[in-house]
A and B are shown apart, each in its own frame.
Chain A
Amino acid sequence: MLSVTLAHAGVQQFTLDNGLRVIVQEDHRSPVVVSQLWYRVGSMDEFNGSTGLSHMLEHMMFKGTKTVPDGQFSRLIASVGGRENAFTNLDYTVYFEQLQKDRLGLAFRLEADRMHNLLLAEDSFRQENRVVQEERRMRTEDQPEALVYENLMATTFEANPYRRPVIGWMDDIRNLTVDDVRHWYQSWYAPNNATLVVVGDVQPDAVRALAQQYFGGIASHPLPVRKPQEEPQQVGTKRIVVKAPAKVPYMMMAWHVPVLRDYAHDWQPYALQVLAGVLDGNSGARLGRVVVREQRIASEASASYDLVGRGPGLFVIDATPMQGKTMAELEAALQAQVRSIAEQGVSADELRRVKSQVIADNVYRRDSMFYQAMLLGEYVTDGLPVEAVAAQADRVSAVTAQQVQQVAKQYLVDDALTVATLDPQPWDEHHERPAVDLHDLR
């Protein structure tokens, strides 16, 4: 063990000799535990022509090792009442198990095994590649709003890898090979590129012993060099139209903004978080109150901003117009809300409201072990210390009305804006095929 520090009440962290970082938060309310293994590799680490590699590898991680054959991972976890799954994002790939507390060793044994013993057989890769193609059809190709988002990202970012979809372009998915996946696995899956987060009814010393027992023998290795790939400054509004079969149009607007790098000194990300809250923190916030309720231009409108991320930040507003309202009217109404904050600022009431919600949410999230682990894993993987999680409520509380106005004025400007709209396409919906005879189907 290299170091043990008490980060803040209830959270302990240490690092094994091979570089595996371990974070433990005790929560003794129920006799259960959640274990999340965060690999610091996601779609932003990929290259043109082989997008979707991280996600494809995530699928293959369930397809067997030398000692745990294909299908057995899920079966073993289920046999003790556990749940397991995984998810891939721009920044990371995460594997998790939720179990009764005395089964944590099983999760560690299986995760440690597949960290360095994955089989990656050609035939199971072929099969799973078809599954991933179906996943892309389901999540993106047949989801107009997801298509809008995918096109928006590919447009607003030109140089930064955030422009590529997490699941990968369909043609790239089709052309992935098992050797590509093996290379990716050997490059990035190592204890020195991972963080193990454990939250639950456990003792940190016991978790440390278990982690050492199962992960301690895995060798670290040097990681590939990551280039910064900074996005050049945008120099004018970008507009795109996406056509897809749908009944109702949709709009996404995104501006380039900063994300949190130094939690103790950066204030702009916290001000942007408050700005999102003033626009859309509750149904009486500005977008809902003015654009939906008073003006009745949108049927739905929301604002979002992710405080943390390995890559660049985006501030996003998305909305659906009411029937009879044009996209130009919708965009103007949303822009007017942004401009009004940039020019006139926010009220003390609005500011207080957003802060109250952040403070309350800080308490509410303690009701979910999984969410607590998510926050810790995401902050750490995105390069922030665990202290930043606990500090978030205080940092938001320190934001002033003037700071909210300033970030709106500085960042939500037309030259940094991308607007993506869905142009709904009709289809022939009045010609239902005759019901085929049941026997034809069987």
Chain B
Amino acid sequence: MMRTGMILGLLLWSGAAVAALPIQHWQLDNGAQVYFVENHDLPIIDVSVDFPAGSAYDPVGKEGVASLTRRLLDQGAGGLTDVQIAGQLADVGATLGGHFDADRAGVTLRTLSRPDEAHQALSLMTAVIDKPAFAASVVEREKARVIDALRQSDGEPQVIAAVAFQKAVFAGHPYAHRETGEIATVSPLASTDLQAFYRSHYTAGNAVISLVGDMTRAQADAIAHQLTAGLVPGKGDVPPLPSVPALTDAQVRNIPFPSHQSQIFMGQPGVARGDPDYYALYVGNYVLGGGGFDSRLMNDVRQKRGLAYSVYSYFIPMRVGGVFQIGLQTRADQTGQALQVVRQTVDDFMAQGVTPAELTQAKNSIVGGFPLRIDSNAKLLDYVAMIGFYGLPLDYLDTFPTQVQTVTANQIAEAFRRHLNAGKMVTVVVGAATAAK
């Protein structure tokens, strides 16, 4: 039992270092981009390989194919079965992981840097990225597991609320659907769908390789070559995503569920990664709902009234847009009161902006906390991969403190007014509430 959920949003934005962080970057002949941070403190190598192959790239009617493709990569590849891949990774103590969101699909590896272990682990990672089998029987098995997981999550009020919120905020946009697809769209998917998606999206020219840890630049270069040698060179066939349209109206949904609490999400489209207003929005949101016990939402909803255990707001910037989201849950019969408090807090914030004291506290916290964001190879890899994937400047982390320091209260007020409209919020309530009044 924690006093509060882990501080949200650590990776939802870009942190930065106080000291210069030497990210080396180069491109391979096949088009792959390589980002590397050398560090020999621990005998560990961390690697991630990312592709623009997230759920936003799902063809219409085949929602879920991107996620299923990513899921199948390590379920049989390079002549090895799923069980052999897992076993041989375990033999050398290596861990294969990955991530998946609307923009990005990726594979990560953590291995000891000792040559025997590293060689075997990287060979397996190469097979997974370059030669996934997509065997029909394995596709069917994993489909069944995905469908079961979807059925399960359809019984979870948090998920019901999140899915409805996403759909309303991104209405009609490729960001609108659930990342894993829906039962109806996953059920008909076949191995050929996965192979076609893989061929067009997992190309060398789309690959972003990030490496952190115990290797030299020459070794990193060799690893990058090895990992992408079997991929089709060039960019493949990935059409750019359309931009996210603004909402035209406020929208409220009340979805019944026999739970003790109401799940509440409010928000609207936010900003894309790289938006010049992002720093102002980030600092401002610390005051509104991003700064944990420093935030107004936490103060108004929890500290003053005891209405919720967790309440927060954040911006998630994505490739072609993003989301601004407020989340909380409260006993069903308090739903109306909680909504009223949240709306009042947001309205006041939009109208009055931040005070000088709040701004100072926000900056001190964000800037002072930078070293904690990159104090491990694992955290560093996440940032390097994000910088690489979104093509942010190599000194992005280094300049972040300065960018935060220069934000003014006026810039925050203007940025919030430019990007948010309190009159056009999406509100989703899932619960047994007596209607949310």
**Chain A residues with a Cβ under 8 A of chain B:** 29-32, 55, 58-59, 62, 71, 74-75, 78-83, 85-89, 98-100, 126-135, 137-139, 141-142, 144, 166-167, 245-248, 281-285, 288-289, 292-293, 296, 299-300, 320, 322-323, 349, 352-354, 356-357, 359-361, 363-364, 366-369, 424, 427-429, 431-436, 438, 440-442
Query: In the complex, A85→B3 CA distance in Å?
Result: 6
Q: Does A440 contact B303, Cβ atoms closer than 8 Å?
A: no
Number of A-B contacts (CB under 8 A): 250
Q: Does A436 contact B378, Cβ atoms closer than 8 Å?
A: no
B252 within 8 A of A: yes
Q: Does B151 contact A323, Cβ atoms closer than 8 Å?
A: yes
Question: Which residue of chain B lies nearest to A245 when distances are taken between CB atoms in the complex?
Answer: B258
A-B contact pairs, 13 of them (CB 8 A): A79-B368, A81-B369, A81-B370, A127-B304, A128-B306, A141-B259, A245-B155, A284-B84, A356-B93, A428-B256, A429-B257, A441-B427, A442-B340
Residue B83 contacts which of A59, A284, A296 (CB distance < 8 angstroms)? Answer: A284
14 additional contacts (CB under 8 A) given A246-B155, A300-B149: A29-B375, A62-B293, A71-B303, A74-B292, A74-B293, A83-B369, A127-B305, A127-B306, A131-B308, A138-B261, A353-B91, A360-B117, A368-B378, A435-B253
Provided the pairs A32-B371, A424-B155, A435-B251 are in contact, do residues A79 and B93 lie with their beta carbons within 8 angstroms?
Answer: no
Residues in A whose Cβ lies below 8 Å from that of B84: 284
The minimal Cβ–Cβ distance linking B98 to chain A, given in whole angstroms, is 13
Residue A363 contacts which of B43, B299, B370 (CB distance < 8 angstroms)? Answer: B43
Query: In the complex, A127→B267 CA distance in Å?
Result: 27
Provided the pairs A30-B371, A142-B157, A323-B148 are in contact, do residues A78 and B254 lie with their beta carbons within 8 angstroms?
Answer: no
Provided the pairs A363-B44, A366-B42, A429-B256 are in contact, do residues A59 and B3 lie with their beta carbons within 8 angstroms?
Answer: yes
Residues in A whose Cβ lies below 8 Å from that of B199: none
Count of chain B residues with a beta carbon within 8 Å of a chain A beta carbon: 92
B372 within 8 A of A: yes
B377 within 8 A of A: yes
B130-164 contacts to A, CB under 8 A, are 141, 144-145, 147-149, 151-152, 154-157
Residues in B whose Cβ lies below 8 Å from that of A293: 82-83, 141
| 1/0 contact string of B292-335 vs chain A (CB within 8 Å) | 11100001001111111110000000000000000001110000
Query: In the complex, A168→B255 CA distance in Å?
Result: 30
The minimal Cβ–Cβ distance linking A292 to chain B, given in whole angstroms, is 8
Question: Which residue of chain B lies nearest to A249 when distances are taken between CB atoms in the complex?
Answer: B152
Q: Does A82 contact B369, Cβ atoms closer than 8 Å?
A: yes
Residues in A whose Cβ lies below 8 Å from that of B336: 441
Residues in A whose Cβ lies below 8 Å from that of B154: 247
| 1/0 contact string of B165-189 vs chain A (CB within 8 Å) | 0000000000000000000000000
Residue B110 contacts which of A80, A100, A299, A364 (CB distance < 8 angstroms)? Answer: A364
Residue A441 contacts which of B90, B155, B343 (CB distance < 8 angstroms)? Answer: B343
Q: Does B152 contact A247, Cβ atoms closer than 8 Å?
A: yes
B436 within 8 A of A: yes
Query: In the complex, A428→B365 CA distance in Å?
Result: 46
Q: Does B252 contact A245, Cβ atoms closer than 8 Å?
A: no
Provided the pairs A31-B371, A167-B1, A357-B93 are in contact, do residues A432 and B87 lie with their beta carbons within 8 angstroms?
Answer: no
Q: Does B145 contact A299, Cβ atoms closer than 8 Å?
A: yes
Query: In the complex, A141→B261 CA distance in Å?
Result: 9
The minimal Cβ–Cβ distance linking B56 to chain A, given in whole angstroms, is 26
Query: In the complex, A81→B164 CA distance in Å?
Result: 35
Q: Does B369 contact A322, Cβ atoms closer than 8 Å?
A: no
Residue B302 contacts which of A131, A138, A141, A427 (CB distance < 8 angstroms)? Answer: A131
> Which of B41, B90, B144, B304 is the most central at the interface, judged by chain A CB atoms within 10 Å of its CB?
B90
Q: Does B306 contact A353, Cβ atoms closer than 8 Å?
A: no
Q: Does B2 contact A248, Cβ atoms closer than 8 Å?
A: no
B409 within 8 A of A: no
Residue B306 contacts which of A86, A130, A139 (CB distance < 8 angstroms)? Answer: A130
Q: Does B1 contact A166, Cβ atoms closer than 8 Å?
A: yes
Q: Does B93 contact A432, Cβ atoms closer than 8 Å?
A: no
Provided the pairs A29-B41, A134-B306 are in contact, do residues A58 and B292 lie with their beta carbons within 8 angstroms?
Answer: no
Residues in A whose Cβ lies below 8 Å from that of B374: 30
The minimal Cβ–Cβ distance linking A107 to chain B, given in whole angstroms, is 13
Provided the pairs A30-B375, A134-B330, A357-B90 are in contact, do residues A427 and B250 lie with their beta carbons within 8 angstroms?
Answer: no
Q: Does B252 contact A441, Cβ atoms closer than 8 Å?
A: yes
Q: Does A427 contact B257, Cβ atoms closer than 8 Å?
A: yes
Q: Does A85 contact B377, Cβ atoms closer than 8 Å?
A: no
Q: Does A81 contact B364, Cβ atoms closer than 8 Å?
A: yes
Question: Which residue of chain A lies nearest to B339 when distances are taken between CB atoms in the complex?
Answer: A441
Q: Does A137 contact B372, Cβ atoms closer than 8 Å?
A: no
Residues in A whose Cβ lies below 8 Å from that of B372: 32, 81-83, 98-100
Question: Which residue of chain A lies nearest to B374 when distances are taken between CB atoms in the complex?
Answer: A30
Q: Does A137 contact B261, Cβ atoms closer than 8 Å?
A: yes
